[in-house]
Amino acid sequence: MARSLSATALSIFASRIFILTISIIFTPILVRLLGPTQYGQYAVILSVYGLISIVMRQGTQESIRKYISERTDLEWQSAVFGYVLRPVVVLGLVVGSGFVFAAWSGLAARVFGDAFTSLFYLLGLYAICRQFRTHILYTLMGLQLESRSELLYIIRKVMFVTLSLTVVYLGHGVEGVLIADIMTNTVVAVIGLGFVSREISLRSAISPADVGLPKRQIFNYAISSVFFFLFLTSLYHVDVLLLQYWTSDEVVGYYKGALAIAEVLWLAPKAVQLSILQRVSMLWNRDEIDAIQRKAQLVTRYVFLFTALLTLGMAVLAADFVPLYLGESFDSAVTPLQLLLPGVLGFAMARPTLAINQARRSLRPLLVATGACSLVNLILNLLLIPTYGMIGAAIATSIGYGSLVVFQSLAARHMGYDPLGGLQVRPTLLTLGATAAVIFPLASGLSSSLIALIVVPPVGAIIYVTAAVATGTVTVTDIENIISSIELIPNRVERRIVLVLDRIPKI
């Protein structure tokens, strides 16, 4: 059963928080068990696969998610599943065979070293299993069954962590980690296929009925999606690569630390982005522009308000948080982190619009907008990094991130809707100003960083919500609708929350 956007976004957000927490615990243990040499080999293998996977997976996974959600009839969904499955199989086998050939021919050993021969054999099987697992999970997302796909992501993570740590402890090294990943991907794909088979006919997917499937459009959409993700991915890597060229490894390490913290603020906006495409594809197919605009404005406003609170809090607490999280030696990462935050907020605001623009059959406006943003980011980094180093990279990337909301909004207007029309600028600025006026002096007045990190976030959140309701940035009805759609809070608790908020005097 399809769930509301709020409930789905919360489900994805919760699962990604869980997976992130597991990763934070798992990674240092794996590093210690493997040692620096073997962990370096594992990182190289993941990097090789990561580069190729953009071409291998992005087109098909986005196509299945978009087109299977356009209509709800069984024949259409079965036909889409079967049609997209064909390139999934072909690409998986071609890439997997390519990795095996690289191992068999000695190419992997010549390029990376003898230890990589066995790893590339396993990487071939890994690529095939990962391809099928991705197709199945994105099919579930397209069917708006994210509660099941996210459950499978969690199962996969727990199984992988358990198996990989066990086999590495037993002395099987990087090969053991890859085998554990192959096994977990296979198990998750099989379980996921069972979920899919309850919703669509697998027999009809193999021999589909004639439903007028726009095969050429699906093909073009898949190719366009690859270019879209290449442009988008460049935003994450151009600054680091150029900084590596012009500065030292130490400086890059500080900057990567700042980026890692900044990107955590995108967990909730990413959850919304992953939820919304399959919920507006049908609206684009029916040309319901008014409905798209209502959804875009509502979601963009909520994402902005939530992320603005997080970025404000991080700006205030950066000097306290960075040394505790990354270590005292990473004090130099504080300033670039603070400079990145405006761009992080802009990128967060753009994420719902990215998904809505991506849900349209023609991706030309999306490609032009994302390509323009990518070009701005590249030019600014080229101009600023040679002179200003890490600070220049942070400023350039922040502007590049922020330009995404501008370019995507222009693309949206070209398509007929305005995602930023629901922003209430004056009340929002009053809300942010009132919150900043309290938490900045509060954080400065606390002598201990740990106490500041414990006290400031809840105080800031209470002030922010109170100010938002008082200024009319959000209404009590807005909050009530969000709580109701999530369907996790008991009615009694919901009524008490609404009663308390309703007593806040309005400005």
For residue 26, which amino acid is it? F
Is pLDDT at 294 greater than 70 in this prediction? yes
CA gap 373, 409 in Å, rounded: 12
- Stronger pLDDT, 55 or 162, i.e. the higher one: 162
CA gap 452, 282 in Å, rounded: 47
Query: pLDDT-based confidence at 94, cuts 50/70/90?
Result: very high
Buried b (16+ CB within 10 A) or exposed e, 338-353: bbbbbbbbbbbbbbbb
Both tokens of residue 181?
A: 């990943």
CA gap 381, 393 in Å, rounded: 6
**pLDDT tens-digit readout, 404-435:** 999 999 999 999 999 998 888 899 999 999 99
The top-scoring range by mean pLDDT among 195-199, 265-269, 340-344 is 340-344
pLDDT at 488: 66
Q: C-alpha dihedral over 466, 469, 472, 478, to 10 degrees?
A: 150
pLDDT at 338: 95
**pLDDT tens-digit readout, 318-333:** 999 988 887 788 888 8
Burial class (CB in 10 A: 0-12, 13-18, 19+), 298: middle
pLDDT at 486: 66
Both tokens of residue 278?
A: 């399959």
pLDDT, average across residues 462-472: 91
Burial class (CB in 10 A: 0-12, 13-18, 19+), 460: buried
**pLDDT tens-digit readout, 346-370:** 999 999 999 999 998 889 999 999 9
The top-scoring range by mean pLDDT among 59-63, 213-217, 231-235, 391-395 is 391-395
Is pLDDT at 2 greater than 60 in this prediction? no
pLDDT, average across residues 177-188: 95
pLDDT, average across residues 60-89: 90
3 state SS of 88: helix
**pLDDT tens-digit readout, 96-153:** 999 999 999 999 999 888 888 999 999 999 999 999 999 999 999 999 898 899 999 9
CA gap 52, 287 in Å, rounded: 35
Contact 337, 314 (CB under 8 A): yes
274 closest CA partner among 487, 10, 2, 79: 10
Is pLDDT at 3 greater than 70 in this prediction? no
Domain ranges of the chain: 6-207, 214-423, 425-502
pLDDT at 1: 41
